């Protein structure tokens, strides 16, 4: 039996038209533990600041659809994406 392919980014998970296709995918793939750890809520003891972000309604609809396919809240998904990008952009990474 070959090792499972590791998913390093949420974007690598395709849309599944049915549960059978999803089950077949997960028989051959697994999530990177770092990706899972980054997605866990760390609300205890951390402050959160509310911001306003204006965007095109179509873009927001697309974000919501992507998040729904991943069983995520769209705002949480957006925060994950920003956090992932910040890690790439910071010096030394």
What pLDDT, in 10s, does the model give residues 59-88?
999 999 999 998 889 999 999 999 889 888
**Among the listed residues 87, 70, 83, the one whose alpha carbon sits nearest the alpha carbon of residue 42:** 83
pLDDT surpassing 60 at residue 54 = yes
Q: For residues 53 and 39, which has the higher predicted lDDT (pLDDT)?
A: 53
DSSP state, residue 16: -
Token pair, residue 28, equals: 């051959």
Question: How many residues in the chain?
Answer: 93
d(CA 86, CA 80): 10
What pLDDT, in 10s, does the model give residues 40-50?
755 555 677 88
Listed in order, strand segments (DSSP E) in the chain are 5-7, 29-31
**Among the listed residues 33, 35, 14, 34, the one whose alpha carbon sits nearest the alpha carbon of residue 25:** 14
pLDDT surpassing 80 at residue 56 = yes
């Amino acid at each position: 039996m070959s090792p499972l392919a590791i998913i390093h980014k949420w974007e690598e998970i395709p849309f599944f038209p049915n549960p059978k296709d999803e089950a077949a995918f997960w028989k051959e793939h697994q999530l990177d533990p770092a990706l899972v750890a980054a997605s866990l809520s760390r609300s205890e003891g951390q402050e959160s600041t509310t911001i306003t972000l204006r965007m095109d309604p179509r873009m927001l609809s697309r974000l919501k659809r992507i998040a729904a396919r991943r069983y995520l809240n769209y705002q949480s998904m957006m925060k994950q994406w920003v956090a992932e990008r910040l890690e790439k952009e910071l010096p030394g990474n």
